[in-house]
Chain A
């Protein structure tokens, strides 16, 4: 799996858009970008994934650069409940022989 780099932590004001960057410069052509988050004491939550095109769902938008070497997860109107650790993962399949693994992720803190 391609290695990803994310900032350790970020702050965002409640009601504003939270933009979480992820670098994956070694991504290969058949690898997807997945985003998960984990709120303290809960299981990881799937947010969104994409291959080449930008994606949007009820939770967030995923913007992937044309060269696919980086992406940005956008939470359009952040709320206090969006405070969590956000993980960007790049892989061909969602699981596989070694399963899913998380790196350090970005600790997003939404400020009131």
Chain B
């Protein structure tokens, strides 16, 4: 079974631009979560989508948004990029909503975003 696929793998943007990251979950998984990982802050939860609905949102500004499509694929958008947004953005899928079940999260290899 194919794993979680994230595209693109690397991205370089300048301050003020916006960016869209894509995630294809494992086939059959209905939940997609997004995380930001940096050396200083570690793994931080952005949001979770389940059946096209946002289930939970972490403590990030409104510049960070996402959506999920009917085929469970998900996109994350960051507008008005700041230098501090440079990070590894990880997508994780699970069979059921991670908010209510113990289905483990399966992560992709992430998109490395560099903001200059």
Contact = CB atoms under 8 A, between A and B. Distances in A.
Contact of A98 (B45, B88, B97, B101): B45
A49 interface: yes
Interface stretch (B14-22, B61-69, B74-82, B102-110): B102-110
A45 B4 CA distance: 11
Which label, helix, strand, loop or mixed, suits the secondary structure of the A interface? Answer: loop
Interface of B: 4, 6, 31, 33, 35, 42-46, 48, 56, 58, 88, 90, 92, 94, 97-110
B42 A95 contact: no
A102 B108 CA distance: 16
Interface in A75-112: 92-102
A99 B33 contact: yes
Given A34-B104, A95-B56, A99-B35, 8 more contacts: A43-B4, A43-B109, A44-B107, A93-B99, A95-B105, A98-B58, A99-B56, A102-B43
A102 B31 CA distance: 20
B44 A94 contact: no
B98 to A, nearest CB: 3
B102 A94 contact: yes
Nearest to B45: A99
Nearest to A31: B102
B99 A97 contact: yes
Contact of A95 (B4, B48, B90, B109): B48
A9 B102 CA distance: 28
15 contacts: A32-B102, A43-B88, A44-B105, A44-B107, A45-B107, A46-B105, A46-B107, A49-B104, A92-B102, A94-B104, A95-B105, A96-B99, A99-B48, A101-B44, A102-B42
